[in-house]
Amino acid sequence: MRKDFVVLGFIGLIIAFLISGTKIQSVEEYYLTHVDDITPDAETVTLTILNDRAYAERDKIPPEIHPYLTADGVVLGKTTYVLRDGDTVFDVLNRATRHERIQMEYQGADLNIYNSIYIQGINYLYEFACGSLSGWMYSVNGEFPTKGVSQYAVKNGDDIIFRYTCNLGKDIGHDEFE
């Protein structure tokens, strides 16, 4: 009998320990956690997410993805976000998609040879949905960096654009591979 109380007490302690380390929050709190208020002295960046090429090439894309394609090509219009110390392009994208409730999936830096996070899909539009040369690319201030999203440190005033390409970037103004 005494042994049963000790076991129950031990289980109770484990449960209490697990619960004490759990942060319970509402859905609204979860989505607002990562966005800071913009103040006059805040350093900021802008982010835009576009799927206009995918919409233009929608005949190549599986029909089940069509409801997620926007006719105007805009998943997220140009939006300003507070820049935090050490922010990368990925940090801004992650905060923005979470706050705006835009679905995003990525591969961790430890899972590829580039040692950078790789964006697999945004708003249910994934790599290769428009063919073998399709996927998400990003530019900063009109230039397509040669670094991965988690390696590119952003600075005050940067303009980040994520855009879906159906042709390895050639259809969105990136001609490095020509």
The predicted structure's pLDDT at residue 18 = 65
The predicted structure's pLDDT at residue 112 = 82
pLDDT in tens, 92-145: 999 999 999 999 999 998 888 888 999 999 999 999 999 999 999 999 999 999
What number of other Cβ atoms are within 10 A of residue 164's Cβ? 30
Give the residue-averaged pLDDT of 61-86.
Answer: 96
In terms of Cβ atoms closer than 10 Å to its own Cβ (0-12, 13-18, 19+), residue 144 is: middle
Domains and CATH numbers, the chain: 27-172 (2.170.130.30)
CA 90 distance to own-chain centroid? 6
Can you tell me which residue has the tokens 């576009």?
50
- Between β-strands 125-126 and 159-165, what pairing exists: parallel, antiparallel or unpaired? unpaired
pLDDT in tens, 22-52: 677 777 766 655 567 778 889 999 999 999 9
Please tell me the pTM assigned to this model: 0.81
pLDDT in tens, 12-25: 777 766 676 667 77
Give the residue-averaged pLDDT of 79-91.
Answer: 96
Phi, psi of 15, rounded to the nearest 5 degrees: -65, -45
